[in-house]
Amino acid sequence: MLPIGVATTYSVPGCTPPRSGFSPARGLLLAISLMAGIVGEACQPLQPAEPGASPPSPGTSGGGGSASSTSGPQRSPPDRGQLSPAGNAISGLATPSAPLVALFVPLSGRQQILGTTVRDGFIAAHLEATGNQRFETLIIDEARVSAMDAHRQALEAGARVLVGPLLKNSVQAIAPLAEQLAGQMPVLALNNLSDTDPGSGALWQFGLAPEDEARQVAGRAIALGQRRAIVLIPAGDWGQRLLAAFSDEFTALGGEVVETRTYVPGSPDYSAEIRGLLQTVEPDPETPDTTTIPGEKPSLAPRRRQDIDLIFVATNRNNGRQLVPQLKFFGGGDLPTYSTSAIWEDGDSGVRDLNGVIFPDSPWVITPDSRAVLIKNGVLRYWGRDALGASRLFALGYDAYRLLPHILGQPSPGPFRAGEIPGNTGMLYADGAGRIHRRLEFARIQNGQPMALPPSSQAGIQSGGF
């Protein structure tokens, strides 16, 4: 028997389809219900099974049928809820005779918001899946169970795949076990091992790695003929990782990182770092400007170095709102300025301080379809902007579920037989070691909003600066 609160099966109580329009759902099914188009007053939060219930085994109704054990309480099936007015019925996360998978993410503690957002995306994909694309799901709380115990519990329950863990230290802990027990149960980790520890290839790795974004920035710049870069990074491990990823890819493609400077996040003024990086020269009104056309007044704007083609700045939104205006002020406004998706929080609007910045991100953020827009609007309305800020993890959970048939369809981690797979987090493809990469879209922030850019092969003159 599993410890109380460790492994939990979930059931969805009945939901009455709305007669017209929609009204707010309560609890964790809001985003999922919005995606399915059925938000009704009768919807309630996901209800965990009674304490002491055993995890489901393949072929049982783990989320909605009887999740029972000889020593635990019996559970009667919940009401079946309509997925849509057309009448597609659901019962929790159970599908009769469907393969069992285990989801291992933090559902309590400090990282709860991350894990629950991934879980909600995973469940949303479950509700949309049909036929052999649907799986019975066992959910395990990463905040209460070690990676090794979760792996053991998933195996004992008969899970075909373990999806998770989400936290990097748990991924590092489970990697040797995945190698040791390769062939028994694939593990789809929702984070990556470090670039210096790529793993043995026994572990699928699928995360939102910023290093992938930095490499794609380098690739786009080179494709547009921008071959000399200056780089501004924050002090610390994150900045160093992005610098390494960008510079390695950029130089491998024929570019040159001319200079790099480091800033301290949270500082009130970055002028010294930026002036040094741009080699800004303040014009002297008393000194004639030899570049001025006769008859025109000399420019009093700061002048920057002329041996560079682009700026790559690694920053989050808050620091970026100080860095970007200062880059413009000290002469960098005409240079293409790139960052990663960390500079933009989904749901932001009117952030004009960041105008001109080019960054890669998922279709979920840059070109969301109508369902994604509906979900995000609902989350913003009922849970607030803070919850929307984690919405990329919703897309990660959704795509993780959609990858399950591909993972089960091949004997070991490696390139997908289907090639690239479209997802909410990008076009997904796997390398020979089982690391799943995302081919992203690019956007430029204009009037405080990200505007999709064409692929670099079609970008033409749209590659300019601010």
Domains contained in the chain, CATH given: 7-206+373-439 (3.40.50.2300), 211-284+297-362+440-463 (3.40.50.2300)
Kindly give, in sequence order, each residue whose CB lies less than 8 Å from that of residue 32, ignoring residues fewer than 6 positions away. Answer: 120, 123, 124, 127
pLDDT, residue 404, reads 97
Lowest-confidence range among 24-28, 251-255, 344-348, 430-434?
Answer: 24-28
Per-residue pLDDT, averaged over 404-430, amounts to 92
DSSP class of residue 283 equals: -
C-alpha separations of 47 from 5, 78, 93 in Å: 12, 10, 12
The H or E element spanning position 103 is strand 100-105
pLDDT, residue 46, reads 37
Threshold 0.85, pTM exceeds: no
If one counts every other C-beta atom within 10 angstroms of the C-beta of residue 441, the result is 22
C-alpha separations of 393 from 386, 416, 452 in Å: 13, 22, 21
Kindly give, in sequence order, each residue whose CB lies less than 8 Å from that of residue 417, ignoring residues fewer than 6 positions away. Answer: 406, 409, 410
pLDDT, residue 233, reads 98
Residues in the chain: 466
Residue 169 tokens read as 């230290």
What rounded mean pLDDT belongs to the chain? 78
Amino acid at 180: Q
Q: Is the pLDDT of residue 436 over 60?
A: yes
Q: Is the pLDDT of residue 18 over 50?
A: no
Cβ–Cβ under 8 Å, residues 359 and 344: yes
pLDDT, residue 293, reads 56
Q: Is the pLDDT of residue 324 over 50?
A: yes
